[in-house]
Structure 1
Amino acid sequence: MMILALALAMAAQSDTPDYRNDANWLCRPGRQDACTMDLSTTVVAASGKRSAEPFKAASDPKFDCFYVYPTISLDTTPNSDMIPGDEEKRVAQFQAARFAKNCRVFAPVYRQVTLTALRSVIGGGTPKIDRDMAFADVKAAWDDYMAHDNKGRGVVLIGHSQGSLILTRLVATAIDGKPAQKQLVSAMLIGSTIPVPIGKDVGGVFPTIPLCRSADQAGCVITYASFRADSPPPANTRFAKGDRPGVEAGCTNPAALGGGKAVMHAYLNAGGNMLVPGPADAWSKDGAAVTTPFVSVPGLISAECVNKDGFNYLAVSVNADPADPRTDTIAGDVKVGTAILKDWGLHLIDMNLAQGDLVDLTARQYRAWAKTR
Structure 2
Amino acid sequence: MKYWPILFLLFAKFSQAQPAPDYTRLKYWAAHPHKLDAADSVPLFLKGETRDTAVDVFFLHPTSFVQRFRKAPLSADIHDEKINELTERQLIHQQATIFNAHARVFAPFYRQAHLRAFFQRDQAANNAFDTAYQDLKTAFEYYLKHDNHGRPIIIAGHSQGAFHGIRLLQEFFDGKPLQKQLVVAYLVGWRIDRNDFKQIPLGTSPTQTGCVLTWRTYESNQIGKEDKRTAEGALCINPVTWLPGNDWSDKAAYMDAPDKRLQKRSRSEIRARVHEKYNVVWVKGYNEVNVPMPGIARLASAIGNLHLLDMNLFYLNVRANVKQRIDAYLVAKSR
TM, length-normalised to structure 2:
0.82
Find the aligned partners of 2:290 and 2:137 in 1 and give their Cα distance. 43
1:184-263 aligned within 5 A: 184-196=182-194, 204-231=195-222, 233-234=223-224, 236-238=225-227, 241-242=230-231, 247-258=232-243, 259=245, 260-262=247-249, 263=253
Tell me the secondary structure at the aligned position of residue 312 of structure 1.
coil
Structure 1: gaps (5+ residues): 41-52, 197-203, 271-291, 321-325
* Aligned 8 A contact 1:192 1:239 in 2: no
Q: Which amino acid aligns with 1:98?
A: I
Give the match for residue 259 of structure 2. Answer: 269
Give the match for residue 32 of structure 1. Answer: 36
Higher strand share: 1
Find the aligned partners of 1:94 and 1:151 in 2 and give their Cα distance. 28
Give the match for residue 330 of structure 2. Answer: 370
Give the match for residue 356 of structure 1. Answer: 316
* Aligned 8 A contact 2:183 2:211 in 1: yes
Find the aligned partners of 1:208 and 1:241 in 2 and give their Cα distance. 23
Give 1:85 shift.
2.7
Give 1:239 shift.
7.5
User: Is 2:284 aligned against 1:317?
Assistant: yes
Q: Which amino acid aligns with 2:78?
A: M
Give 1:57 shift.
7.4
Give the match for residue 59 of structure 2. Answer: 67
User: Given the superposition, is the C-alpha separation of residues 126 and 340 from structure 1 closer, same or farther in structure 2, using an over 3 Å criterion?
Assistant: farther
* Aligned 8 A contact 2:257 2:267 in 1: no
1:328-367 aligned within 5 A: 331=294, 333=297, 335=299, 340-342=302-304, 345-367=305-327
Find the aligned partners of 2:197 and 2:263 in 1 and give their Cα distance. 35
Q: Which amino acid aligns with 1:62?
A: A
Structure 1 window deviating more from structure 2 (60-69 vs 161-170): it is 60-69
Tell me the secondary structure at the aligned position of residue 215 of structure 1.
coil
User: Is 2:143 aligned against 1:145?
Assistant: yes
Higher RCO structure (Cα 8 Å, ≥6 apart): 1
Tell me the secondary structure at the aligned position of residue 237 of structure 1.
helix
TM, length-normalised to structure 1:
0.74
What's the % identity of the aligned pairs?
28
Give the match for residue 303 of structure 1. Answer: 272
Find the aligned partners of 2:165 and 2:121 in 1 and give their Cα distance. 26
Find the aligned partners of 1:125 and 1:215 in 2 and give their Cα distance. 36
User: Given the superposition, is the C-alpha separation of residues 147 and 360 from structure 1 closer, same or farther in structure 2, using an over 3 Å criterion?
Assistant: same
Give the match for residue 77 of structure 2. Answer: 81
Structure 2: gaps (5+ residues): none
Q: Which amino acid aligns with 1:313?
A: V
Q: Which amino acid aligns with 1:172?
A: Q
